[in-house]
Amino acid sequence: MKKILLFAALSLSLVACKSTSTKDTSVKQQETVYEVKETNVIETLKYLTLDELEGRDSGSKGIEKAAIYLENQFKQHNIKPYFDSYRDTLSNYKETSYNIVGLIEGTDPKLKNEYIILGAHYDHIGITPEVKGDDKINNGANDNASGTTILSEIAKYIATFKNNKRSVLVVYFSAEERGLLGSQHLADKLKAKGFNLYAMLNFEMMGVPMTDKDFELYITGPQTSNMWDKLNEYAGEKLVGVIPEERQYQLFRASDNFPFYVAFNVPSQTVCSFDFKNYAYYHQPQDEFQLMDTKFMTSITQKMLPVVTKMINAETQEIQLTKK
């Protein structure tokens, strides 16, 4: 949570809206039809889960290959580095590790100074020698190649348009599995430099659908802000809900949204489809590409496009913390 976006007739279908007014810029975006290709989803997901990446443990040779792959996607779609390079080296982990950070700058003279962070962790737990059997590589398809893949497709979409009002940081976090170290490092670093963060939305474990819900994703920390309601409003359907396990396992604190909530005190939440019943291979070598539902992933990505568009282009900060 796919290597090259094919423009025009090759991989997207663009239907321009009729309005040409400057005031209608955001509406024009929303009325534009952009097709997410399952073949692109499959390509990225399959690469990130190859055995040669050795389970993408932070600081490993395997995750280095994943980092290069994601950096190349940024380059191919003209997504600039936010720092001097795409690599944000962690200051809080013993092995050399880095977040991959891309910038899609906004165009509105005022709103471009406000940022939305879209994130997903691209690391996993690597190789576990103590596991019985021949397969000891934890490829981490659902956790979290799925969220990384979905975010990569959303990033391509945002980068396709040049009239996003707010600026967006697309962040692939490292060392999430080591205790949210990548997001903790970046949150503290950005806070220290006076970064103007509006909201943070994180993508986690979105490779298989829930089967007994009337919504497709759940949100963590639903009580912390009105993001839950706004995501559904932006989607135009009941896309996001809440599950009891979210509170039971304190999932709001368990992924890369949480350090940004702590550091910035702004809406910072995660969407996910792993509900503890629909997938049996959490942190196991069996978490493989073949078990992912790429049609579901493609559909969810498509549904998230108007959501992120409306977040980026809202005239005011509509997503707000819940008053205590």
Per-residue pLDDT tens over the stretch 224-281: 999 999 999 999 999 999 999 999 999 999 999 999 999 999 999 999 999 999 999 9
Contact 152, 79 (CB under 8 A): no
Per-residue pLDDT tens over the stretch 289-317: 999 999 999 999 999 999 999 999 999 99
Q: Is the pLDDT of residue 122 over 90?
A: yes
For the domain covering 22-313, report its CATH number: 3.40.630.10
Contact 112, 167 (CB under 8 A): yes
- The domain spans of the chain are 22-313
More confident residue, 13 or 66: 66
Per-residue pLDDT tens over the stretch 145-189: 999 999 999 999 999 987 899 999 999 999 999 999 999 999 999
More confident residue, 6 or 225: 225
* Mean pLDDT of all residues in 57-73: 98
Q: Is the pLDDT of residue 27 over 70?
A: no
pTM value is: 0.91
pLDDT of residue 32: 59
pLDDT of residue 159: 96
CA–centroid distance for 232 within its chain: 17
115 CB-contact burial (10 Å; exposed 0-12 / middle 13-18 / buried 19+): buried
Q: What is the mean pLDDT of the chain?
A: 91
